[in-house]
Amino acid sequence: MTAHTFAAASGATLPYRVFVPAAAGPEHRVPLVLFLHGAGERGTDNAAQLRHGVGDFVTEAAQAARPCLVVAPQCPRGRWWDVDLLQEFAASLAMRPDVDVDRVYLTGLSMGGFATWHLAGRRPELFAAAVPVCGGGELDAAVRLATLPIWAFHGDADATVPVARSREMVAAVRKAGGVLDYTEYEGVTHDSWTRTYADPKVHEWLFAQRRVPPIVLHDGDRVVFFGDSITAAAVKAGGYIDCVASDLRARLPGVELIGKGVSGNRVPDLAARLERDVLAVEPTVVVVYIGINDVWHSLRGKGTPIDAFESGLRQLVHDIAAAGARVVLCTPSVIGEKAAGSNQLDGMLDEYAAVSRRVAASAHLTLLDLRARFVAALRARNTDDAERGVLTTDGVHLNAAGNRFVADAMLEVLGAVPAPEPAAAEAGAEAPAKTDKKE
């Protein structure tokens, strides 16, 4: 592994080692593994970080089975990983001409396990999967981690990093809709990494993961927006579909945008009119924005039970994808604009949004997490804790600011504008989960 130094825009530097397989190049892009070491490997020699785990990815047998670049930076002695610096470093690695950008993997142990949770939570879109080993993370990042494939590991006898740190992250991500795997080694103390990185099943799982490629619109695309009354109103002047159309007109005049929203619709209603209203127009992209009425109508006994919501949503997106269209799945947004947790249906909305995240993750769909975005935006904008009037007219339907807000989110997820830094999102942690596997 050859020695290099990364120079950040801020002037900060990061020493690292890289292994490049002989076959890698612009004509044969390969996966990349970004490996973050623990506290004991800190230093300035640009070598100690190779002590644990890295070697399992660069053996002759491993490279013969799964050729990949392996990059191992080194954190200075007496410091913790600088996640801002790691973000810039990871983004630069993904731009290498020999890297398969849809197969960039993140892993780390102990201090590096913490950094894996933190970095993945900040920039989940950079990675195809993450493997944090005996670490812990920020619970409020759980929503952003919900669509990233994760397999976490910890020893239940770890006295250095308590196993509760992994358990609480697993619980929080699952509560947010994530479908991550978790292995807890019975009787194992802090060294849970030797067993993890030597396990062929871990390598097999990791290299099977692929990032969901971003949707990029091209002239000639036909985009259908499929939903309820919020979408029905969006085609009017100033509505979010109208705003998207106005913004795209100069750059992509050949893109056709079609609104197919019907007031009061729930997931079963979309399923009933899918063929007639959507598939019949032969869309290339379908944006599904549904879930508000499935929750809201429960107040009068006409909502959609959560199991039926999930099964119906899975079938709906399956049928759209089977027809050849790319799918953007949106979570439901808000029913009331007061502080998160204080509106009557917030808890139920969070549960249904978690279902949408889970469906998007398991079906490898592009997700637009409007629930998380609205909560974060209202935290900043709704300083008077008003029930309505900030982004909605009535706590649900969008006003001018809300339409512009959703339009900007749609433009971003459709690849029409650069993605901003992720906003902080709400996600609570439940009690430590019972672990999946004892080994």
Per residue in 32-82, pLDDT (tens digit) is: 999 999 999 999 999 999 999 999 999 999 999 999 999 999 999 999 999
pLDDT at position 417, please?
Answer: 59
Strands (E) across 150-235 are located at 151-155, 181-185, 222-227
Q: Tell me if 112 sits within 8 A of 36, measured CB to CB.
A: yes
Classify residue 77 as left (phi > 0), alpha (psi -120 to 50) or beta.
Answer: beta
Report pLDDT digits (tens) over 72-115: 999 999 999 999 999 999 999 999 999 999 999 999 999 999 99
pLDDT at position 61, please?
Answer: 94
pLDDT at position 250, please?
Answer: 83
Question: Dihedral of CA 243/248/254/260: which sign?
Answer: negative
Considering the entire predicted model, what is its pTM?
A: 0.84
Q: Tell me if 275 sits within 8 A of 226, measured CB to CB.
A: no
Enter the DSSP assignment of 358.
H
Residue count (the chain): 439
Q: Tell me if 217 sits within 8 A of 223, measured CB to CB.
A: yes
Instruction: Give the residue-averaged pLDDT of 187-200.
Output: 97
Strands (E) across 12-74 are located at 13-19, 30-36, 69-73
Instruction: Give the residue-averaged pLDDT of 401-411.
Output: 96
Radius of gyration of the chain (CA): 23
Query: Does the pLDDT at position 242 exceed 50?
Result: yes
- Confidence class for position 305, pLDDT limits 50, 70, 90: very high
Strands (E) across 242-389 are located at 256-261, 285-289, 326-330, 366-368
Q: Give the residue among 88, 51, 70, 74 at the shortest CA–CA distance from 1.
A: 70
- Structure token pair of residue 358: 């889970």
